[in-house]
Amino acid sequence: MMNKTKYFERGKASLKALLFLPLAFGAHAERLPSQPQISTEGEGSGFSLTACTRCHGVGGDGNTAEGIPRLRGLPFTYLKEQLQAFASGERQNPIMNSIARTLSADDITHAASFYTQLPPLFQPLGTKDESTNELAVHGRWSENIPPCDDCHGPEGKGVGENFPALNGQSARYLENQLQAFKKGSRPSGPLNLMGNIAKKLSDADIQTLSRYYSGSSPRDTGGQP
């Protein structure tokens, strides 16, 4: 119950921030990042996004081999909540914990609004073998696991402010997160939805799903639609 109300309060706070966002950008509209590099400078706070681009890339693409997530186009509320959870230590990751602790509330808002406005980049997820996306599109209702796509959207492209896209992340990153939810080293998210589901997944499920959403399952190339 505590957890629930907390998430809703957070949601409201970030909604307000979202309302002010256009204003904040409007004030220096001529500097809106048509090229991302332009806005990697913090606005006078001494904070610079180069602290992030070093690992997440200037375009927010992340790094597949290192398991560094793609941030471009993720929802503002979601990004902000994750940075807050890294800062408080609820979401455990040594690298991001030490980085997020140095960020002010304004820095977090600035970083989240920068990455959210970069256009997302999705890849085709076709699969040759129906069993590799079984959980993603059909779920396993006997254990009350709905299809992942029911919450993360068709092909995992994300829904609204609270359901991040899975499409576009690397298999390594996805696998790390599902294991983290399962172990409890990452908070289980709004209504405990994600933690509750991850605890029902086997290691084999996690591997298959991570490969599927990263677009690295063997794909059907037979020319069939």
Report the C-alpha gap between 101 and 188 in whole angstroms.
Answer: 21
> How many residues sit close enough to another protein to count as binding (CB under 8 A)?
32
Report the C-alpha gap between 99 and 8 in whole angstroms.
Answer: 26
Q: Kindly tell me which of 132 and 162 has the beta carbon lying closer to ligand HEC.
A: 162
132 binds another protein (CB under 8 A): no
Neighbouring C-beta atoms of residue 74, cutoff 10 Å = 23
The SS3 of residue 145 is strand
87 binds ligand HEC (CB under 6 A): no
Binding to ligand HEC (CB under 6 A) within 42-71 occurs at 51-52, 54-56, 67-69, 71
Binding to another protein (CB under 8 A) within 186-205 occurs at 190-193, 196-197
Question: Does residue 156 contact residue 125 with C-beta atoms inside 8 Å?
Answer: yes
Reading the block at residue 171, the tokens are 């298999």
**Residue partners of 127: CB distance under 8 A and separation at least 6:** 133, 212, 217, 218, 219, 220
154 binds another protein (CB under 8 A): yes
Contact positions toward ligand HEC, by CB under 6 A? 51-52, 54-56, 67-69, 71, 74, 78-79, 81-83, 93, 95-96, 99, 103, 111, 135, 145-146, 148, 150-152, 162-164, 166, 174, 176-178, 187, 189-191, 193-194, 197, 209
